[in-house]
Amino acid sequence: MARTARALTIASSDSGGGAGIQADLRAFAAAGCHGASVIVALTAQNTREVTAIHAVPTDFITAQVDAVFDDIGADAVKTGMLLSAEIIEAVAASLAGRDVPLVVDPVMIASSGARLLHDGALEVMVGALFPLATVVTPNLPEAELIAGFRGTRRALAERLCEMGAAATIVTGGHGRDPVDHLFDGRDHVEIPVPRHAIAATHGAGCTHSAALAALLAQGWPLREAAQGAAEVASAAVARGLADIGAGDGPVDALDIRSRRLVPPAPLSVGRIA
């Protein structure tokens, strides 16, 4: 029997089920991996807004990471919303020395506009997590905030690699051109991404970075994994669940509409002896 690939997400919970840990686990499954999770914060969130955030103590974050690696292991790891400098430092310390691919998704702002990263945390992320990362996956606004200037995806990807990332994918969901731009420190690769006219994109970035981690966990080279992740995320957006909530509905990585069960035929009723 073939060995089951394992991927670990270290991120926050979305009570509405659209993004965060919930989206990551669906994307892991869609891309063929068993998913494990380390929750660093809980959000009270729906499709319209984030109303509250509760941080998990850093010692419990470390305990979760250790529990996964001590038994299940991970063939790749991704990070998502990490909230604070203290949490980022704890995550970086818990991953240091572990020889697995790491996808860093620098989540800073929710699709509803809520801030998801405290002041001072970005600098810690760049200094502590970027050097550990196999690839960093900001969207265009995040890349501009990290780099400190507005520019092309090409220029931004180069700048983030100069800041310590081994490779960068500036994703194509924002801006005029729907293109994921990969720079691996040497070569530039542009990956066209179909744009879909649908009001359901919540969790698209999480889905992309989780699918990328899942494919790296299965041994895919970075370029091929980037292409595969773009396809998984694009398909999830195309199937987006616009009827869920009053705001930006969640993407659908698992094509859940096709999985609805049909009720079985009623059992015949007879006299029991």
Main-chain phi, psi angles of 37, to 5 degrees: -140, 145
Cα separation values, 150 from 139, 174, 180, 191, 202, Å: 13, 13, 17, 21, 24
Which of the residues in the chain have pLDDT under 70?
173-175, 269-273
Task: Identify the pLDDT of residue 195.
Answer: 82
The pTM of this model reads 0.95
Please, what is the end-to-end C-alpha distance for the chain in angstroms?
46
Give me the pLDDT at residue 29, please. 98
Give the pLDDT of residue 15. Answer: 98
Query: Which pLDDT does position 174 carry in this prediction?
Result: 64
Domains of the chain in start order, with CATH, are 6-134+198-247 (3.40.1190.20)
Beta-bridged to residue 36, according to DSSP, are 8
User: What pLDDT was estimated at residue 110?
Assistant: 85
Q: Would you state the pLDDT for residue 270?
A: 65
Return the pLDDT at 14: 98
CA 186, CA 172: separation in Å to the nearest integer?
Answer: 20
pLDDT score recorded for residue 112: 80
Question: What pLDDT score was predicted for residue 138?
Answer: 97
Name the burial class of residue 164, with classes exposed (0-12), middle (13-18) and buried (19+) by CB atoms within 10 angstroms of its CB.
middle
Whether 232 and 207 have beta carbons less than 8 Å apart is answered as yes
